[in-house]
Amino acid sequence: MSVYRLLFVCFASVIVAVGAGADPTPATRDAGKKTQAAAEDPSITFNSVHVDGPYIAMTFDDGPSATLTPKLLDLLAAHHIKATFFVIGENVAEHSEIVARAAREGHEIANHSWSHPNLGKMSGDSVRSQLQRTDDAIQNATGKRPTLMRPPYGSITAREKRWIHDEFGYQIILWDVDPYDWKRPGPAVVRNRILKETQPGSIVLSHDIHPGTIEAMPSTFDALEAKGFKFVTVSELIRMAVPKASRPSPQPGENAPTKAVPSPSLAPSAPSSPRD
C-alpha cells in the first residue's frame, strides 16, 4: 500500500472517523480528542485490559513485510517476547511463509482486513469480504483462524462491531499506546513515546512496515523489561482481565516494577486515545 493511498484514505476517513477515531493517518489522528470506542460493549472491544500484573501486549500492524518482519521476529525471539501481528490479507497471501513462521514461534496472528480500507464507510458485504478473505489467508498460512481483528484507522461503527463479533467471533482490538511510528519520527522518538505511555494492561500499537520502528525495538524492549513489564499476546492479556473494582494484589515471586504498578484507571471500557 502506497503512502499516497494511505494519505488519501486518511483524509477521506477524517470525515467519518467513527467511534474509535482513526488509524495511522495524519488527518484522522486527533490527539486532543478522547474517544470512547469501547464504551458500548467492553467484552467486544478493547483499548487496554485491566490486569493485576505488569503485563502488556505489543502489537504490530500492516505486515507482513518481506524484509522487516523477519528482522522483528529475530528480535522478538532473542528477547523471548510474544507479540500480536495484525496482518493485511493481501500481504499474507504474498508472504505466507513469514506469517507461518510468526505463528510457529508463538505469536498471535490477527485480522487487519484484506487491503486496509476504511471499514466504517463500507457496505456490510464489502466488510464481510475484507474480513473473510483475510481470515482464510491466515488459516491457510497458519492452520488456525484468528480470533481478533483491528479495523484499519480504528474506524468501525458500533453496528459493525456487533455483527462482526456475532459472525466471526472476533474481539475488536484498538490500543492505548500510540507512538505515531507511521510518521517515521525516528527510533528514539518511537521508543520514548512507548516508554512514556505504557502501563500495565497496555496494548501498544506499532507497524512492522517502517524501518525506524524495527530499529526502535531493541532499546524499547530493553527499557520495558527494565521497568518490569512482561509481554503477552493480546488474547493472553484479555484472559488475564480482572474486574475494574478489584484491588490489585501483589503477585508472589513477581518482580514488580517500580513505576509500572497496576493502574485502576485501566479497563477494557476505559476511553483512551485510539488513533491508528
Q: Whose Cβ is closer to Zn ion: residue 64's or residue 152's?
A: 152
> Closest approach of Cβ 29 to Zn ion, in Å?
12
Q: Does 152 bind Zn ion (CB under 5 A)?
A: yes
Whether 181 is catalytic: no
181 forms part of the interface with Zn ion (CB under 5 A): no
Site string for Zn ion, 58-87 (x = CB under 5 A): ---xx-------------------------
**Would you say 58 and 84 are in contact if contact means Cβ atoms under 8 Å apart?**
yes
For the bound state, the minimum distance from the C-beta of residue 112 to Zn ion, rounded and expressed in Å, comes to 6
* Residue with Cβ nearer Zn ion (61 or 176): 61
Q: Which residue's Cβ has the minimum distance to Zn ion?
A: 61
For residue 178, state whether it binds Zn ion (rule: CB under 5 A): no
Q: Which stretch binds Zn ion (CB under 5 A): 100-108, 145-153, 175-183, 234-242?
A: 145-153
Question: Taking contact as CB under 5 A, which single stretch among the options 65-73, 148-156, 169-177, 237-245 is the one that binds Zn ion?
Answer: 148-156
Question: Given 207, 208, 210, 276, which residue is catalytic?
Answer: 207
For residue 266, the one-letter residue type is: L
Binding segment toward Zn ion, per CB under 5 A, in 38-46, 144-152, 165-173, 250-258: 144-152
Q: Among this protein's residues, is 207 annotated catalytic?
A: yes
- Reduced 3-state DSSP string for the chain: CCHHHHHHHHHHHHHHCCECCCCCCCCCCCCCCCCCCCCCCCCCEECECCCCCCEEEEEEECCCCCCHHHHHHHHHHHHCCCCEEEECHHHHHHCHHHHHHHHHCCCEEEECCCCCCCHHHCCHHHHHHHHHHHHHHHHHHHCCCCCEECCHHHCECHHHHHHHHHHHCCEEECCCECCCHHHCCCHHHHHHHHHHHCCCCEEEEEECCCHHHHHHHHHHHHHHHHCCCEECCHHHHHHCCCCCCCCCCCCCCCCCCCCCCCCCCCCCCCCCCCCC
- Name the residue type at position 176: D
145: region left, alpha or beta (phi > 0 left; psi from -120 to 50 alpha): beta
Please say which residue, 55 or 114, places its beta carbon nearer to Zn ion.
114
Stretch that binds Zn ion, among 37-45, 149-157, 229-237, 250-258 (CB under 5 A): 149-157
Q: Minimum Å distance from CB 47 to Zn ion?
A: 16
Q: How many residues bind Zn ion (CB under 5 A)?
A: 3
Give me 94's grid cell: 504474498
- In the set 23, 50, 52, 61, the catalytic residue is 61
Nearest approach, Cβ of 130 to Zn ion (angstroms)?
Answer: 12
Q: How far apart are CA 222 and CA 130, in angstroms?
A: 36
Closest approach of Zn ion to the CB of residue 80, in Å: 26
Whose Cβ is closer to Zn ion: residue 1's or residue 158's? 1
**CB of residue 124 to Zn ion, shortest distance in Å:** 21
Q: What are the backbone dihedrals phi and psi of residue 79, each rounded to the nearest 5 degrees, phi first?
A: -95, 0
* Interacting residues toward Zn ion by CB under 5 A: 61-62, 152
Task: Indicate which residues carry an active-site annotation.
Answer: 61, 207
